[in-house]
């Protein structure tokens, strides 16, 4: 694989703990989330625009705390109420066989009976994809205080409404993730490159390049990944067809602009 193909791979958008980048802002959010799950809360809302790092953060929390705090993750929303309740039952009673007649009401009764003996934390990623009736059931389960939910939602007008309608009286803590600053943008790119031992490439980026990337992406990590992937795609093309065009010790500003043009951030 060519060098620029490898660089493209670094900026593929992934939800994996090993790709977590510890920026000042993300560390702050993570520490806040860790402290929140220790409190006697029924529910914690983690929300922000797509691309602000919610999924990576919630996966890292699960990875770091699952053994210590009985933390469980449902990464992909379960649309069936029956399957959802069965999954929660497996979390809450790992040594038991799921009863054939397990219903939502019976599960609620079991939660009340278990409250003084066992508590678990369930992380729900992409919670905006649950139907409203399922969100209402999650709300009722949280009222038993046997299961604490960390609910990750995209921040849009509709999702804000969902949060207010279903969880307003249950959420005792809200953590809002935001796009990164210019400093976050530069550190994110450099750390991603250094993490994979591309020190020389990391040094090719100058302050003006980070300003331009931040301007085009607004500091959104998903958009940064897309732009960087496209940038190295362009470099890979020239390496194979016109290598003289990528000579030099710094990244070429016009190639960042070409990437932004291709992605629709700017128009010719």
Looking at residue 35, its pLDDT comes to 87
* pTM of the complete model: 0.87
Rounded to the nearest 10 degrees, how much is the dihedral formed by the CA atoms of 138, 49, 191, 202? 160
pLDDT digits (tens, 9 = 90+) for 59-93: 999 988 877 768 999 999 998 999 999 999 999 99
The string of DSSP letters for 53-95 reads: SHHHHHHHHHHHHHHHHTEEEE-S----HHHHHHHHHHHH-TT
Looking at residue 160, its pLDDT comes to 56
pLDDT digits (tens, 9 = 90+) for 90-113: 999 988 899 888 999 999 999 999
Helix (H) or strand (E) holding 159: helix 157-167
Q: Residue 157 is encoded by which pair of tokens?
A: 């007008």
At residue 41 the predicted structure's pLDDT band, cuts being 50, 70 and 90, is confident
Average pLDDT, the chain: 88
Q: What is the sign, positive or negative, of the torsion defined by CA atoms of 135, 55, 160, 167?
A: positive
Asked whether 178 and 56 are in contact (CB, 8 A), the reply is no
């Amino acid at each position: 694989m060519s060098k620029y193909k490898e660089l493209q791979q670094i900026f593929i958008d992934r939800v994996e703990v090993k790709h977590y980048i510890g920026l000042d802002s993300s560390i702050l959010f993570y520490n806040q989330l860790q402290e929140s799950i220790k409190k006697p809360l029924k529910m914690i809302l983690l929300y922000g625009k797509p691309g602000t790092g919610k999924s990576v953060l919630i996966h890292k929390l699960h990875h770091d705390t699952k053994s210590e705090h009985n933390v469980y993750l449902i990464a992909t929303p379960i649309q069936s109420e029956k399957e959802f309740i069965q999954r929660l039952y497996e979390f809450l009673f790992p040594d038991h066989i799921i009863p054939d007649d397990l219903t939502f009401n019976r599960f609620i009764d079991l939660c009340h009976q278990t409250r003084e003996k066992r508590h678990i934390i369930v992380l729900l990623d992409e919670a905006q994809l649950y139907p409203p009736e399922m969100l209402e059931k999650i709300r009722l389960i949280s009222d038993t205080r046997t299961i604490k939910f960390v609910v990750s939602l995209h921040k849009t007008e509709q999702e804000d409404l969902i949060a207010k309608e279903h969880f307003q009286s249950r959420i005792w803590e809200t953590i809002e993730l935001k796009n990164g600053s210019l400093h976050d943008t530069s550190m994110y790119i450099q750390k991603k490159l250094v993490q994979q031992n591309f020190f020389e490439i990391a040094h090719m980026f100058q302050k003006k390049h980070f300003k331009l990337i931040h301007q085009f992406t607004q500091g959104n990590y998903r958009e940064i990944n897309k732009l960087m992937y496209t940038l190295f795609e362009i470099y890979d093309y020239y390496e194979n067809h016109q290598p003289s065009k990528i000579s030099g010790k710094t990244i070429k500003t016009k190639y960042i602009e070409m990437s932004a043009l291709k992605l629709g951030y700017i128009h010719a």
